[in-house]
Amino acid sequence: MRKLVVLLLVLLLLAAPIAVMAREDSGSDDAGKDSGSDDSKGRESETLETVTVPETEVETHATVTVAGTPHETETEHGVEVETEHGVEIEREHTNATELRVRIRESVTESANQLEREGIRDPVVHDSQSTFLVGIDTFRRVRELNDTRGRDLTELEAEIEDSIKITTQAESRIRSRNPVVKVLMGGDDQAARQLEQEMNLTRERIAELRSFVDSCTTCSEQVKEVLQERIQEMEQEQERLREVASQELNNQGIIGWIWK
């Protein structure tokens, strides 16, 4: 009996460490599983965060793409904007200060042009320059392109053609031999040509003034600049008319015979 009790105690002592070791091994396995599960969930979460784009970011990108510059096109007279009602032009208004700067540049450009054309007479040179600068000034005013009625470009072309005719006529008058002029009188043909062109020029200048008066989008400062150009052209027109009149009235010593 005593031996049986001792044997049971020995077995109990041996079984206790084994049970403890088994529980430790089981806890270690469970911890490894939990750790592995957490790592797996972390990787899945990172993957989802990388792939998923917030809804607001998608909408912002779409808005930028739709509202991009292809719907706005810059033109010579403004910016064309596509709307649901078609294409509208946002007009760019002319700045009077910039226009005056452009006039000074135009004076230099016209001088270079006349020099290339061989215009040496300073009077004829200044006459041509007055009209060329005046035409260029009107061409630079964006608002005038809205004006209804006759095309401004057509009117400018007519004035440019007239400048060539008046230049030839006045150059012919001014280069006439003084002796011949005293004896034979003035060059009637050149004078009549000059007079005829001045009559047409008066009508064209009146049209330019009408363009200015009817321009509802022009600022008062821009209108003032244009009126200054018109006044200078009118003054030059009167000078040329006087040249033609004096030439026609000059009969010379013997020119009255056939005049």
Q: Is residue 162 part of a domain?
A: yes
Give me the pLDDT at residue 43, please: 47
Residue 79 pLDDT: 43
**Is residue 55 in some structural domain?**
no
pLDDT for residue 11: 64
The pLDDT, as a whole number, for residue 76 is: 46
Lowest mean pLDDT among 5-19, 72-86, 169-183: 72-86
Of residues 42 and 168, more confidently modeled:
168
pLDDT bucket at 216, cuts 50 / 70 / 90: confident
* Neighbouring residues of 204: CB distance < 8 A, sequence distance ≥ 6: 155, 158, 159, 162
pLDDT in tens, 56-85: 333 333 333 333 444 445 444 444 445 555
By CB neighbour count within 10 A (0-12 exposed, 13-18 middle, 19+ buried), where does 223 fall? middle
Q: Is the dihedral of CA 207, 213, 218, 220 positive or negative?
A: positive
Question: Average pLDDT in the 10-34 region?
Answer: 53
Structural domain includes residue 144: yes
Q: What pLDDT band is residue 234 in, cutting at 50, 70 and 90?
A: very high
Which tops the pLDDT comparison, 248 or 32?
Answer: 248
pLDDT for the residue numbered 144: 83
Residue 4 in domain: no
2 lies in some domain: no
pTM score, whole prediction: 0.62
DSSP code of residue 77: T
pLDDT of residue 133: 95
Tokens of 72: 């706005």
Range of the domain at 206: 96-257
Instruction: Give domain status of residue 243, yes or no.
Output: yes
User: Would 123 be classed as within a structural domain?
Assistant: yes
Kindly report the average pLDDT of the chain as a whole number. Answer: 75
Percent of the chain with pLDDT over 90: 43
What is the rounded CA–CA span in Å between residue 250 and residue 142? 46
58 lies in some domain: no
The Cα 169–Cα 141 span in angstroms is 31
Number of structural domains the chain divides into:
1
Give the pLDDT band (50/70/90) at residue 23.
low
**Each residue of 182-209: b (16+ CB within 10 Å) or e?**
eebbbbbebbebbbebbeebeebbeebe
